[in-house]
């Protein structure tokens, strides 16, 4: 009878249930820790890959911008040489610049035909300094346009690198 009473005693069964629950919690905790470790490792791997891709893109962008800058500088230097030669030719008188002007009419006849032979337009020659100044102004505008084109080229190069599929 004492054995029956001992088997009916809930304390050993309760201790066994608590031990099983504790074991279950420990196993689940270790699984959770393992999952966290796996996710942390995956995140570190993904971050390393993203950093490497960013570094590669940065190098590619840097090379592209350097190429564009070099090309732009060569173009500016070439155009400056051409401009300097043109301006020196204008100052030396080898190249003469003129602008169209309307001739003063000495005729009192309103019926004078204005055909190609009777054009009221004449040309006024610019002084070498005025011609050189106008050429320099035009060259400054051309340089600004070249600078904007280099900026647009840079934008497109960077945009292409950034928007390429990964």
The reported pTM is: 0.62
Q: What is the mean pLDDT of residues 17-22?
A: 92
Regarding predicted confidence, which is higher, 43 or 120? 43
Give the DSSP letter string of 93-119. Answer: TSS--EEEEEPPP----TT---SSTT-
Instruction: Give the CB-side neighbour count of residue 95, counting CA atoms within 13 A.
Output: 15
Which of 70-79, 82-91, 110-119 bottoms out in mean pLDDT, i.e. has the lowest? Answer: 110-119
Does residue 71 register a pLDDT over 60?
Answer: yes
Indicate the pLDDT class of residue 119, thresholds 50, 70 and 90.
low
Q: What is the pLDDT of residue 2?
A: 59
Between β-strands 98-102 and 121-125, what pairing exists: parallel, antiparallel or unpaired?
Answer: antiparallel
Tell me the average pLDDT of the chain.
87
Indicate the pLDDT class of residue 104, thresholds 50, 70 and 90.
confident
Number of neighbours of residue 90 by Cβ within 10 angstroms: 23
């Amino acid at each position: 009878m004492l054995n029956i009473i001992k088997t009916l005693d809930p304390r050993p069964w309760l201790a066994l249930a608590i031990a099983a629950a504790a074991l279950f919690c420990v196993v689940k905790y270790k699984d959770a820790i393992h999952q966290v470790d796996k996710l942390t490792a995956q995140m570190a791997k993904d971050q390393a890959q993203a950093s490497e891709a960013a570094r590669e893109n940065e190098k590619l962008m840097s090379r592209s911008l350097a190429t564009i800058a070099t090309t732009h500088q060569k173009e500016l230097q070439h155009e400056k040489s051409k401009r300097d030669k043109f301006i020196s030719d204008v100052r030396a008188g080898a190249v003469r610049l003129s602008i169209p002007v309307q001739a003063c009419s000495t005729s009192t006849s309103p019926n004078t035909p204005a055909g190609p032979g009777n054009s009221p337009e004449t040309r006024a020659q610019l002084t070498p300094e005025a011609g050189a100044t106008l050429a320099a102004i035009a060259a400054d505008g051309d340089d600004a346009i070249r600078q904007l084109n280099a900026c647009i080229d840079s934008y497109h190069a960077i945009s292409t690198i950034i928007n390429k599929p990964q």
